[in-house]
Amino acid sequence: MMARSVQSLAVGKVIGDVVDMFTPSVELSVYYGSLKITNGCKLKPSVVSGKPTVFINNPHQAQGNHFYDLHRSGSTNLYTLVMSDPDAPTPSEPSMKEWLHWVVVDVPEGCDSTRGREVVPYMEPRPPIGIHRYVFTLFQQKGPMVFGGPVLMNTRGDALMFGNSGHEDGETDLPCRAHFNTRNFAAQNGFDLPAAAVFFYAQKEPASKKR
């Protein structure tokens, strides 16, 4: 199952555009309400406007289809979750790639993202033009994050500062979410290759069809 997920990431060019080839070590499950994300699914922005819940499951320790509790598993592994858009502002000219949507650190294995520490607030997808990919990438940490959070730098080497405003279409007074680089982020924080990744597609909805 995890091997098929890598194939889907390669077909969607997530492997190449966002991360290098890797072998998944855990199962990453992303839910918007009761809707579970599958690689390459197409969703309306209105469906993904709220913050998702993300589960990290070790298939070697899970029992059945239920996520095991951290204390029962005995695992001390912690993870960092990154959500980004490599197609901002448009897939044909992604001059602002990657657009950073969310970062959560110190998520315990066997638990969901609410048990972690959000260091970059969730920003809902707002694709202005074309079909965008939204990628969740999971990294295993060497230990708990210290000094207030991870190292966050953009592709130009500038430190990132975050706020809740800003848009993928470039209309922003806080351009700090633009030009994020998942590979650089991993290297700067001492992470190895991803432990897991999943992505979906979304495009702008006609105003009359938004719900």
C-alpha span between 153 and 176 (Å, rounded):
9
Give the pLDDT mean for 178-188.
Answer: 92
Task: Give CA–CA dist 15/21, Å, rounded.
Answer: 6
Over the stretch 121-151, which tens digit does the pLDDT of each residue have?
Answer: 999 999 999 999 999 999 999 999 875 556 6
pLDDT of 171: 42
pTM comes to: 0.83
Element at 198 (helix H, strand E):
strand 196-203
Give me the phi and psi of 23, to 5 degrees please.
-110, 115
Q: How far is CA 195 from the centre of its chain?
A: 12
CA 109 to chain centre: 16
pLDDT at residue 205, as a whole number: 86
